[in-house]
Chains A and B, each alone.
Chain A
Amino acid sequence: MRLLECEAKEIYARYGIPVPKGVRVKAGEPVPADLATIGPELVLKAQVEVGGRGKAGGILPATPADAPRVAEELFQKEIRGVPVREILIEERLLIRHEFYLSILVDRSSRQPLILFAEAGGVDIEQAARETPEAVRRVTVSPLLSEVPPFALRDLLGDMVKEFGPVVNRLWKVFREKDAILAEVNPLVTTDRGVFAADAKLIVDDNALTRQGITVNRDLSPREREAESHGFSYVELDGTIGVIGNGAGLTMATLDLIQFYGGRAANFLDVGGGADKERVKHAVRLVAGRPGVKVILVNLLGGITRCDDVARGILDAGVAQTVMVRLAGTNEAEGKAILDGRGYPMFATMDEAVKAAVEAGA
């Protein structure tokens, strides 16, 4: 789950990474009167979990006097489709130079990877593509509680003294907060030292509970409901509701729908060993979305019992036609339960998808 900039900065500050002075203001709350204590010049930043916020008009300069008016202006905006519910009012830093620093999980080396670049404040993915040599990279063993000096030298060259402490503090944040990305972009130098001018922190979804995070804000309400049933669910905008077991098979089902010219309404993986109740909930959840014309169930059972699945489909009793492809344990029993009750059944994925695409058109 991606944290807001202000939340990330509060964490960074607790770990000793300097952040600009600032105050959070929620929509509907008054802007504090003593803004002059923050600084003579201010920056107001929309707190939304999307990238490219500055370009989309989500960051505005202000003086303490006109800050309330600028804040009001920001609260009226949507940044890349996301309404502004909170803003961060910060002192404006007198920046000498901008750098880039991040730590992420590197799949290839199976280790954390630290990135540092002397050009900050930019789209780092683009910079890395255009001038890969400008981004310095060091992998560090996940077993180490500190970044070893040699790795700091490899990463920072002659800037170890200036940035070494910040790198080690961010390393601590990354490890202790179960981050999959801890980013400071830009990391800036000023005549008062080094500051994290911006902050991005993404927490591993598999570690939210132990991080004390109870609600995954990255998910829509329906996605959260699905999660509470143990489903993996993603909303799309088509007409064919999809239920599969296993992420790969469900994705392949969506791809096949697209291949045959249809549009899926969702991705729903019921997980392993789906029983009657889970299947019933899944069918109802998918059917409950407006615009869903037909539902396609594609289940390949190892643990999953086809007779359980068939009973779940029957119990759901939804208005839309449910097309069924079942293979695996108790396949014959499952088919017998649905036979003659208006549930078209198919032996292969391709046949089932073709029929669903026709019905969903």
Chain B
Amino acid sequence: MIYGDRHTGILVQGATGQQGSFHIPHMNTYARSVGGRGVVAGVTPGKGGQEVHGVPVYDSVRAAIAEHDVGAAVIFVPAAAATDSIMEEAHAGIPVIVAITERIPVHDTMKAIAYARMEGATVIGPNCPGLISPGEVKLGIIPAHLASRGPVGVISRSGTLTYEVIHELTRAGIGQSTVVGIGGDPVIGQTFTDVLERFRHDPATKAVVVIGEVGGALEEEGVASTDIPVVGYIAGVSAPPEKRMGHAGAIVEGGEGDAASKIRRMEALGVPVARRVAEIPALVKEFL
């Protein structure tokens, strides 16, 4: 439990949209199964007074928090409006903001994250699947049936690759404390360093899987910043340089951020790095 628990009331921004209305019942089914509060309010400007799967919708975050105790927000609005949503929630005092939205221009992201920091809010994402603390809370779209409760934290820049990893961990009988998708964009609110710091202070977490990919150096920086046991995996060993591999942030630029150098640097810090996803559970077991 590092960003919320079963007592966290969730606000969904973009509640009446296709994505929002699809994921609200999934989050609430999960909340019911673990005795959590789930989604308590939705926001879509102009749709105040409606309900989505029994969740009341408000015109603004301000109006929603006047009626509900909200500990975290999940954003499903389109890219053009997403950073306004981040700022609206931060301004309203919501401490944890998960931005699922992809394809946000990076200048907008930089501004929204800088603003949220000034307001004291923590942003996860954008372009991320959110997080799940099995048995406690799901903030976002990670398929809950793949996860199981246990001592291993997972941090990833990817969505479905994260699902693959927790699927493998669960099959190997290794449960997860919290799984955080930090997002595939070059600029993201919570980096590996930030999440590793939270895990270090989390009594439920004994070891962490860091799932990185080509582009930047956030993986190495994160691993170097902590003393919690870490197992690594880096996607994009076969990625050609100067090509964007799906994620806006997944690009080897100017000879920097390639998978081989990331793996080398992580291993130099004493971190075992799996060459295949299927190898991850065995490496994690060494630390448990």
Contacts and interface: CB of A to CB of B under 8 A. Distances in A.
A248 B239 contact: no
B256 interface: yes
Given A247-B158, A257-B238, A350-B276, A252 B164 contact: yes
A107 B158 contact: no
A272 interface: yes
Interface string B267-288: 0000000011110000000000
Interface in A97-134: 105, 107-108, 110-112, 125
A90 interface: no
Interface string B222-236: 000000000000011
B249 interface: yes
A300 interface: yes
Interface in A222-263: 232, 234, 236, 244-252, 254-259
Contacts of A244: 160
B52 interface: no
A236 B107 contact: no
Nearest to A269: B246
Given A248-B213, A300-B164, A267 B186 contact: no
Interface residues of A, number: 49
Chain B interface main SS type: loop
B143 interface: yes
A66 B78 CA distance: 55
Interface stretch (B41-49, B89-97, B111-119): B111-119
A303 interface: yes
A343 to B, nearest CB: 21
A210 interface: yes
Nearest to A267: B245
B160 A248 contact: yes
A340 B142 CA distance: 32
Interface residues of B, number: 62
A257 B247 CA distance: 20
A302 interface: yes
A254 B107 contact: no
A249 B160 contact: yes
Interface in B41-94: 79
Contacts, number: 159
A141 interface: yes
Interface stretch (A11-19, A161-169, A199-207): A199-207
Interface in B194-211: 211
A248 B249 contact: no
A251 to B, nearest CB: 4
A175 interface: yes
B110 A248 contact: no
A175 B215 CA distance: 22
A112 B107 CA distance: 9
A258 B260 CA distance: 14
Interface of A: 105, 107-108, 110-112, 125, 141-143, 175, 178, 180, 204-207, 210, 232, 234, 236, 244-252, 254-259, 264, 267, 269, 272, 300-303, 327-328, 348-350
Given A252-B235, A258-B237, 13 more contacts: A105-B106, A107-B187, A107-B191, A110-B189, A111-B114, A112-B110, A178-B105, A204-B105, A206-B79, A246-B160, A251-B245, A255-B237, A259-B276
21 contacts: A110-B110, A111-B110, A125-B254, A141-B114, A175-B107, A204-B248, A205-B244, A206-B248, A234-B243, A246-B159, A247-B250, A248-B184, A248-B247, A249-B159, A250-B246, A251-B238, A254-B239, A302-B129, A348-B278, A350-B276, A350-B278
Closest 7 A/B residue pairs (Cβ): A248-B158, A247-B246, A246-B160, A248-B161, A142-B110, A232-B246, A207-B105
